[in-house]
C-alpha cells in the first residue's frame, strides 16, 4: 500500500494568512493526488485533483503543487470559511489511500 504522510496535523492561523500543507507519498504517484476540505458532519469537498487542477467552483486562493512523492496545498489569504480539516489522497492505484488530515484552526 502507498502510505501518505501529511503535515502538520494541526495548524493555527489567522484570517489573511498564507498557509501550506504538505503531503508525502511512500512511492511515486506521478500527479495522481487530490486534496479535500471537510467540515464536521459533511462529506469531503474536492478542492484539487491531478495535483494542481482546481475543481470547478473552488476559489482561486487554493492551489496545489508537486509531483512524484512531494505535494503541497497552499491557501492564500485564509478566509473564515477555510477553517476545516484537509486531507490529501493518492489515486495512482485501485487501493487509494489518504493522509491523516490537517486541522486548520483559528489562531
Partner 1 sequence: EVQLVESGGGLVQPGGSLRLSCAASGFTFSSYAMSWVRQAPGKGLEWVSYISSSGTTIYYADSVMGRFTISRDNAKNSLYLQMNSLRYEDTAIYYCATFSSSVYWGQGTPVTVSS
Alpha-carbon span 97 to 107, nearest angstrom? 30
Of positions 49, 62, 71, 86, contacts partner 1 by CB under 8 A? 49
Q: Could you give the C-alpha distances from 5 to 22, 30, 55, 56, 58, in angstroms and in order?
A: 8, 16, 23, 26, 24
83 is a contact residue toward partner 1 (CB under 8 A): no
102 is a contact residue toward partner 1 (CB under 8 A): no
Alpha-carbon span 62 to 75, nearest angstrom? 5
Alpha-carbon span 85 to 96, nearest angstrom? 19
- For the CB of residue 27, give the shortest distance to partner 1 in the complex, in Å: 17
46 is a contact residue toward partner 1 (CB under 8 A): yes
21-40: which residues touch partner 1 (CB under 8 A)? 34
Of positions 19, 62, 69, 89, contacts partner 1 by CB under 8 A? 89
Alpha-carbon span 61 to 67, nearest angstrom? 20
Question: What is the binding site for partner 1 (CB under 8 A)?
Answer: 34, 43-44, 46, 49, 55, 87, 89, 91, 94-101
Amino acid at each position: 500500500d502507498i502510505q501518505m504522510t501529511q503535515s502538520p496535523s494541526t495548524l493555527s492561523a489567522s484570517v489573511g494568512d498564507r498557509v501550506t500543507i504538505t503531503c508525502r507519498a511512500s512511492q511515486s504517484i506521478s500527479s495522481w493526488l487530490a486534496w479535500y476540505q471537510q467540515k464536521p458532519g459533511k462529506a469531503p469537498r474536492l478542492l484539487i485533483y491531478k495535483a494542481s487542477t482546481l475543481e470547478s467552483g473552488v476559489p482561486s486562493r487554493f492551489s496545489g503543487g508537486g509531483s512524484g512523492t512531494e505535494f503541497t496545498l497552499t491557501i492564500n489569504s485564509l478566509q473564515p470559511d477555510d477553517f476545516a480539516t484537509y486531507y490529501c489522497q493518492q489515486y495512482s492505484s485501485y487501493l487509494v489511500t489518504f493522509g491523516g488530515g490537517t486541522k486548520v484552526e483559528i489562531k
